[in-house]
Amino acid sequence: MERIVYKHLQETLYYEKLDNGLSVYVLPKEGFQKTYATFSTRYGSVDNRFRVTGQDEHRVPDGIAHFLEHKVFEEPEGDVFLKFSTQGASSNAFTSFDQTTYLFSATEKIEENLETLVNFVQNPYFTDENVEKEKGIIGQEIQMYQDNPDWRVYYGLIEALYSVHPVHIDIAGTIESISEITKETLYACYHTFYHPSNMLLFVVGGVDPEKVIAQVKANQAAKNYGPQAEIERFFDPEPEQVSQERKELNLPVSLPKCLFGFKEAAPKVDGPELVKLDLTTELMLDLLLGSSTPLYQKLYDEALITDGFGGDFRATPEYAFSVIGGDTRDPELLMDRIREESERLSQSGFEAKAFERARKKKIGGYLRMLNSPESIAHEFTRYKFRGGDLFAVLEIYENMTLEEVNARLREHVRWDRRSVSVVKGA
Amino acid sequence: MSMTGFERAAEGRIRIHVLPTKRFKTFAVSLYAGASLQEETVTPIALTPFVLRRGSAAYPETILFRERLEELYGAGFGFDVYKRDGSQIVQFRMDTINDAFVGKEEQLLGNSLAFLGETLTRPALESGVFKSKFVDAERDNVRKKLDAIINNKARYAGARCVEEMFAGESYRLNALGKREALEHLDASSLHESYRKWLSEAVLDLYVVGDTTLAEVQGLVHKHFDIAGPGHSPYEYARSAKSEGVGNPHIVKETMDVSQGKLNIGFKTSIDYADDRYASALVYNGVLGGYPHSKLFQNVREKASLAYYASSQYEPHKAFGTIQSGIEIGNYERALEIIRVQLDAMKAGEITEIELSQTQAMLGNDLREIRDSAFQMIHHDFGGRLSGRERSVSELLEQVESMTAQQVAEAAQNFRLDTIYFLTGKEGE
């Protein structure tokens, strides 16, 4: 067991990589009643073409990672939610582009709940009947998102930006695509991506780290996982240009919703470099259009934006894009204004004082996040799967320079690599 | 010390509640300002915090105001406006990091309370009233927020159901006010309404973090410009509750949606201050609070009719709701399944396992309160609001000793009041 002390954060992290490849992290939080545990696989909606080295290649239906997440909860003796309820734990799961996470939160019976979490995820039970039944439930989930204008405008943007990379496919798939899912395709995905060497367990709360690691070690040793070769994921080359400049849709909304973004070439880096790219770009967006900028105030005074307006950046080694916008009376005018200001700032650069304030704000936000065990577990895993370290973020902010942020503005905000998605009332 | 661990004092009209602890990396600050929920005042009170967050006398332009927050290491600053029983409450929140983590003495708690005090009591003015630039923009902003309710269909259906349930009472009002009343507010009339509100509202200030009651009291004395005697003219009061008549009112509304939203409302006489409060919590948990609950298990898991099917209990106004998103053509079927669950609850058909699962889950929810500064504040404030203080351990004991018989009695006290269905244009 490794013990990593982050003195300035007053946190100590415990880590062990087990023989079967599973990474286990424990962060004790003194005085906390609750324990929060996440069990995650590096597998999400984009992983639709893959093989384990030396085995057959698979191409699987859209939405299968999310479908699998639903089905993993089913055990021969019934739904595992019920078992967690009996043990006083609330459990849940979510699927993103590149990650699926199962979790529980409990204040009692931590040992039993941890055992339940690890065991249910490692015990798939799919039948023709239970797969068919799930199609009705997920069908209603898809319908619910169809009526959600925020979701539709967001996906509209990604579809406009990307033509090949599967990031543009809805995480839940479509009613048609999930109709093709069978227990066989589910097992193929499961056996590839749910091998312990592709997974990470994170436990945070009022726990004894040595006991937790010993428990998981014993649990895994009894399951006799063999080694697994490398997982290869295949992505066809994505053109540098956006797929479509504009996408528009009609839904009942009170004001048009407008999201636009810039597409970058796949960064092809991971680890600290990718984390730095991410944090620098986020800080740049904050300096360009965050709530204390002159631009923000001007847009607000012109009634071109509302409280929800903002921008963020998504990057993995395979794709990188920004998402900017909110509700607006005039999408074109909004983008014109932002364009003028970004072109001006590309020339002049950001002010040093504004940069220092934005850096302080980011550091404060980061430290506040560390109050929440849930956020720590989610963010830590997300960083780790990209080869980064959540607890090194403070240092990255401290070493960031104004020149780097200015450079990101010029590299990222390229109006010939922009798409826009608009949802408005009929 | 109180049952919930908060230490209390008063500074003029401001009641101060402090929980000293080293468990968090931040100071959590909440200020609650409560006033009577009334048709004539709901809109100006709702608009007030939007104008206050645009600037204070010390930071009279919004950019300066927001830059100041960034200098305080991006202190979280926000507010909410909501209704509880007969009151309209404006809650300001600040969440500021403890100086210890930035390695220098910045007096972040003192500076944050100074900021909050300034914002609430010394707003930016021109010619002695609010700046009209701020009032005009925020009136437009609140109007957009009121209009935006239709964007989220589940939330819209929930709000419509509650509006129908309390059609004859002020509780029907949206806490953000009335669209048509906004037009009549200007810088001068809003400023007058603000002064009246501030002079009458009941004020509770909470701080959780590495501090003391004496320190907070000193800071409030220094930074909050609120004159007056030791009591606010307004005080939270518990209204009389009744379980209603049980003759449901059915409302159907059409909109361009692909999924129907079924919302059902119940009235009860069991409110937060009632001795039977814990039985209502358990009732709601068995019916629809959790994935093991009757609604989730029967509507979703057995019949595959919905992605969500749950129930909620609002203890201050004392009512329950059920909500589910279903295929439009499944309205009758879903309603029938829900009726069967409600009848089972009333007949006491609650298995031992349903009861123990609910007790375990509620126990977990209650114990978790201590892990979040804002949840501890929220729990304590619930007691202030209803006049009935309960510690977490007292509630835990009551939940754990609950019998199926007591839960059935609570179920009989929840009477069906309204069935609301948001359906598609083409009908079934």
Per-residue pLDDT tens over the stretch A265-289: 999 999 999 999 999 999 999 999 9
Query: Minimal Cα distance from B147: which residue of A?
Result: A254
- What pLDDT does residue A359 have? 95
Q: What is the pTM of this model?
A: 0.91
- What pLDDT does residue B106 have? 76
Q: What is the CB neighbour count within 10 angstroms for residue A348? A: 8
B223, two tokens:
């930074």
Residue A6 in contact with residue A13, Cβ under 8 Å? yes
Query: Minimal Cα distance from A426: which residue of B?
Result: B256
Q: Could you read off the pLDDT of A167-186 as tens digits, one per residue?
A: 999 999 999 999 999 999 99
B67, B95, B358 member nearest A292 (Cβ): B67
A172 to chain B, minimum CA–CA distance in Å?
13
Phi-psi region of A388 (alpha: psi -120 to 50; beta: other; left: phi over 0): beta
Beta-carbon separation of B327 and A143 below 8 A: yes
Beta-carbon separation of B291 and A82 below 8 A: yes
Q: Could you read off the pLDDT of B300-309 as tens digits, one per residue?
A: 888 888 888 9
Q: Could you read off the pLDDT of B334-383 as tens digits, one per residue?
A: 999 999 999 999 999 999 999 999 999 999 999 999 999 999 999 999 99
> What is the arithmetic mean of pLDDT over B272-279?
97
Q: Of B73, B74, B54, which Cα lies nearest the Cα of B64?
A: B54
Beta strands in B62-200 (DSSP E): 76-84, 87-97, 125-126, 129-130
B325, two tokens:
């998103």
Angle at which helices B277-284 and B404-413 cross, to 10°: 90
Residue A92 in contact with residue A101, Cβ under 8 Å? no
B209 to chain A, minimum CA–CA distance in Å?
12
Query: Minimal Cα distance from A131: which residue of B?
Result: B304
| Residue B1's pLDDT band (cuts 50, 70, 90) | low
Percent of chain A whose pLDDT exceeds 70:
100
Q: CA-CA distances (angstroms) from residue A19 to A13, A121, A244, B308?
A: 20, 18, 48, 40
Q: Could you read off the pLDDT of A327-361 as tens digits, one per residue?
A: 999 999 999 999 999 999 999 999 999 999 999 99
| Residue B2's pLDDT band (cuts 50, 70, 90) | low
- What pLDDT does residue B428 have? 40
At B184, the amino acid letter reads H
Q: Could you read off the pLDDT of B376-400 as tens digits, one per residue?
A: 999 999 999 999 999 999 999 999 9
B57, two tokens:
């006398």
Task: Give dist(CA A161, CA A168) in Å, integer.
Answer: 8
Answer yes or no: is pLDDT of A392 > 90. yes
> What is the arithmetic mean of pLDDT over A370-379?
94
Task: Give dist(CA A42, CA A375) in Å, integer.
Answer: 18
Beta-bridge partners for A31:
none
Tell me the ipTM for this assembly: 0.86
Q: Could you read off the pLDDT of A14-57 as tens digits, one per residue?
A: 999 999 999 999 999 988 999 999 999 999 999 999 999 999 99
Residues of A in contact with B304 (CB under 8 A): 133, 136-137
At B179, the amino acid letter reads R
B255, B301, B360 member nearest A85 (Cβ): B360
Query: Minimal Cα distance from A142: which residue of B?
Result: B307
A33 to chain B, minimum CA–CA distance in Å?
6
A297, A306, A357 member nearest B144 (Cβ): A306
Residues contacting residue B60 through CB under 8 Å, at least 6 positions apart: B124, B131
Q: Of A218, A319, A181, A200, which Cα lies nearest the Cα of A261?
A: A319
Q: Could you read off the pLDDT of A185-244 as tens digits, one per residue?
A: 999 999 999 999 999 999 999 999 999 999 999 999 999 999 999 999 999 999 999 999
Which of the residues A16, A69, A264, A379 is marked catalytic?
Answer: A69
| Residue A426's pLDDT band (cuts 50, 70, 90) | confident
Angle at which helices A272-289 and A294-301 cross, to 10°: 50
- What pLDDT does residue B243 have? 84
DSSP conformation class of A225: P
Q: Could you read off the pLDDT of A86-120 as tens digits, one per residue?
A: 999 999 999 999 999 999 999 999 999 999 999 99
Residues of B in contact with A360 (CB under 8 A): 70-71, 73-74
Q: Of A324, A377, A312, which Cα lies nearest the Cα of A99?
A: A377
Q: CA-CA distances (angstroms) from residue A114 to A84, A109, A334, B371, B401?
A: 10, 9, 49, 20, 27
Answer yes or no: is pLDDT of B281 > 70. yes
Task: Tell me what the pLDDT averaged over chain A comes to.
Answer: 95
Residue of A10, A35, A75, A85 to mutate when probing chain B, most B C-beta within 10 A: A85
Answer yes or no: is pLDDT of B49 > 50. yes
Residues of A in contact with B20 (CB under 8 A): none
Percent of chain B whose pLDDT exceeds 90:
84
Residues of B in contact with A33 (CB under 8 A): 367-368, 370-371
Catalytic site includes residue A69: yes
- What pLDDT does residue B258 have? 85
CA A393 to chain centre: 17
Beta strands in A81-135 (DSSP E): 90-95, 100-106
| Residue B290's pLDDT band (cuts 50, 70, 90) | very high
CA A104 to chain centre: 18
Task: Give dist(CA B414, CA B315) in Å, integer.
Answer: 12
Residue of B70, B99, B323, B375 to mutate when probing chain A, most A C-beta within 10 A: B70
Residue B263 in contact with residue B160, Cβ under 8 Å? yes
Q: Could you read off the pLDDT of B214-271 as tens digits, one per residue?
A: 999 999 999 998 866 778 889 998 898 988 777 899 999 999 888 999 999 999 999 9
Write the DSSP assignment of A356-381 as a string of letters: HHHHHHHHHHHHHHTT-HHHHHHHHH
**β-pairing verdict for B7-11 and B14-20:** antiparallel
- What pLDDT does residue B100 have? 83
Answer yes or no: is pLDDT of A123 > 90. yes
Task: Give dist(CA B362, CA B357) in Å, integer.
Answer: 9
Question: Interior CA angle at B166 toward B165 and B171, to 5°?
Answer: 135
Answer yes or no: is pLDDT of B107 > 70. yes
Query: Minimal Cα distance from B148: which residue of A?
Result: A254
- What pLDDT does residue B125 have? 97
* Least-confidence region, from B149-153, B178-182, B280-284: B149-153
Answer yes or no: is pLDDT of A261 > 50. yes
Residue of B99, B299, B307 to mutate when probing chain A, most A C-beta within 10 A: B307
Q: Could you read off the pLDDT of B312-321 as tens digits, one per residue?
A: 999 999 999 9
- What pLDDT does residue A45 have? 97
Answer yes or no: is pLDDT of A313 > 60. yes
Beta-carbon separation of B360 and A88 below 8 A: yes
Residues of B in contact with A306 (CB under 8 A): 141, 144-145
Q: Of A106, A102, A128, which Cα lies nearest the Cα of A117?
A: A102
- If DSSP codes are grouped into helix, strand and coil, which group holds residue B411? helix
Answer yes or no: is pLDDT of B426 > 90. no
- What pLDDT does residue B427 have? 45
Residues contacting residue A46 through CB under 8 Å, at least 6 positions apart: A97, A98, A165, A166, A167, A169, A233, A235, A318
